[in-house]
């Protein structure tokens, strides 16, 4: 005989709702922070729930968070290490030496009475990048990840010091070994990309982060190719047919087009990755991104305009003193940017 409940009424022990339907036991922000291993104020969070089961859930998560915190202190440190850091230090040393020697040679030429050959805009921009790098280094000296930013600024100073030397023919023979075919600015976008994926220190494995890490590796490869192609071409190891568009001084400006695109993409990556950073880190990321964007955007916009619109480039070459206001804006934003990081 079939057995069943005799009454049509619901039993008192019958659940009034599905036990798994309560999707709001934890606020979404708490869930995201726990997944990201961001700092959580567990003491205040435990005062919020009313149900004992919710308090037990939060307490269990707190214990898990403490346990994994003890076992992953080393892994939570900045990941600035390995061959890329060694390469960045080499680039920093080369760029710093080029900037110092280049500006020194210009100063010697000025003392020797070659004032007519001095290229003031290039000297001012080289000094601006050099000063900005020193100020950024002072503002972020306790963060080992600052090596990427310092090296990037040093390459800017090196590039403009090289341009300033073009007006001092007597300096070229003595500095040929240091400058010939060696363009450390080829690595500037790669180092800024590396900074972008490390500075917002977020333990996250989203699709964007995976793509960003792969893009960083790709930009490092691109920088290496650009650098070594120019070195080999400068010493005649490869012909112009082989180096082609990758030459830094090629009229097609492919070198600089790639530079600008990679640099702008790196700054954008900093903003995107900052969304999931811990609160204290997020503020630092916002300050850094704003400072770098404000400091470099006028320079980049001028550079892109000169690349894309030939008449603008011709105006910059022939303008002389009339372009002084643009140089003032670029220099002012570069040197003021580090103050925002403090």
pLDDT tens digits, one per residue of 309-336: 777 767 666 665 566 666 666 666 666 6
219: left (phi over 0), alpha (psi -120 to 50) or beta: alpha
pLDDT for res 256: 78
- Quote the pLDDT of residue 22: 45
Same domain, 65 and 169: no
The span from the first CA to the last CA of the chain, in angstroms, equals: 82
Q: What average pLDDT does the chain have?
A: 73
DSSP letter at 11? Answer: P
Higher pLDDT, 68 or 202: 68
pLDDT of residue 106: 83
- Residue range 70-79: mean pLDDT, rounded: 46
- pLDDT for 123 equals 83
pLDDT band at 228 (very low <50, low <70, confident <90, very high): very high
HSE, CB side, 13 Å, CA atoms: give it for residue 99. Answer: 30
182 and 35 in a single domain? The answer is no
Residues 155-177 have pLDDT tens digits of 988 988 888 887 676 555 667 78
The pLDDT, as a whole number, for residue 19 is 44
Residue 215 lies in a domain: yes
* Domain-embedded: residue 129: yes
pLDDT score, position 43: 67
**pLDDT tier at 227, thresholds 50, 70, 90:** very high
Domain that holds residue 169: 83-340
Final residue in a domain of this structure, among 71, 95, 127:
71
- pLDDT interval class at 102 (50, 70, 90): confident
Higher pLDDT: 144 or 212? It is 212
Best CA proximity match to 190, nearest among 212, 162, 171? 212
Total count of domains within the chain: 2
**The residue to which tokens 């100020």 are assigned:** 135
The Cα 193–Cα 197 span in angstroms is 6
- Token code pair at residue 324: 């002084």
Q: What is the domain-level CATH number for residue 315?
A: 1.20.1070
pLDDT digits (tens, 9 = 90+) for 278-307: 555 666 666 666 666 666 666 666 666 766
d(C-alpha 304, C-alpha 83), whole Å: 31
Tell me, yes or no, if the pTM score tops 0.85.
Answer: no
CA-wise closest residue to 291 among 216, 342, 325: 342
| Maximum separation of any 2 CA atoms in the chain, in Å | 117
C-alpha neighbours within 13 Å on the C-beta side of residue 307: 19
Distance between CA atoms of residues 125 and 207, nearest Å? 38
If you average pLDDT over each of 68-77, 163-172, 215-224, 229-238, which comes out highest? Answer: 215-224
* Rounded mean pLDDT, 58-81: 61
Residues 60 and 102 placed together within one structural domain of the fold = no
Q: DSSP assignment of 181-206, as one string?
A: T--GGGGHHHHHHHHHHHSS------
How many of the other CB atoms lie within 10 Å of CB of 83? 8
- Which of 58, 85, 246, 70 lies closest to 151 in space, CA to CA? 85
- The pLDDT confidence band at residue 77, using thresholds 50, 70 and 90, is very low
Give the integer Cα–Cα distance in Å for 232 and 46: 64
- Give the number of other Cβ atoms within 10 Å of residue 93's Cβ: 13
* Confidence band of 20 (pLDDT split at 50, 70, 90): very low
* Region of residue 244 (left: phi > 0; alpha: psi -120 to 50; beta: else): left
**Mean pLDDT across 106-124:** 74
Same domain? For 93 and 172 the reply is: yes
Residue 7 within a domain: no
């Amino acid at each position: 005989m079939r057995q069943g409940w005799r009454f049509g009424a619901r039993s008192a022990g019958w659940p009034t709702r599905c036990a798994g339907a309560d999707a709001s036991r934890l606020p979404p922000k708490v869930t995201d922070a726990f997944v990201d291993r961001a700092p959580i104020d567990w003491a205040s969070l435990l005062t919020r729930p009313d149900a004992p089961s919710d308090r037990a859930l939060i307490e269990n998560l707190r214990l898990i968070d403490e346990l994994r915190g003890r076992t992953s202190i080393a892994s939570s440190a900045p990941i600035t290490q390995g061959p890329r850091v060694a390469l960045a230090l080499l680039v920093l040393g080369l760029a710093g030496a080029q900037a110092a020697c280049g500006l020194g040679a210009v100063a010697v030429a000025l003392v020797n009475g070659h004032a007519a050959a001095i290229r003031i805009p290039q000297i001012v921009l080289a000094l601006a990048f050099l000063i900005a790098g020193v100020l950024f280094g002072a503002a972020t000296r306790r963060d080992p990840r600052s090596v990427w930013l310092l090296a990037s600024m040093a390459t800017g100073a090196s590039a403009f010091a090289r341009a300033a030397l073009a007006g001092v023919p007597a300096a070229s023979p003595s500095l040929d070994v240091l400058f010939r075919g060696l363009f450390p600015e080829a690595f500037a976008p790669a180092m800024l990309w590396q900074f972008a994926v490390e500075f917002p220190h977020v333990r996250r494995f989203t699709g964007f982060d995976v793509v960003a890490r792969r893009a960083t590796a790709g930009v490092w490869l691109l920088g290496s190719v650009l650098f070594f192609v120019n070195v080999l071409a400068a010493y005649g190891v490869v012909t112009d047919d082989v180096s082609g568009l990758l030459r830094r001084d090629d009229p097609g400006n492919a070198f600089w087009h790639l530079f600008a695109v990679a640099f702008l993409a790196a700054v954008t990556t900093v903003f995107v990755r900052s969304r999931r950073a811990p609160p204290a880190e997020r503020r630092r990321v916002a300050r850094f991104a704003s400072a770098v964007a404000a400091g470099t955007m006028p320079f980049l916009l001028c550079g892109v305009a000169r690349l894309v619109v030939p008449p603008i480039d011709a105006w910059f070459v022939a303008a002389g003193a009339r372009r002084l206001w643009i140089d003032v804006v670029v220099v002012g934003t570069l040197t003021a940017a580090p103050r925002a990081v403090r």
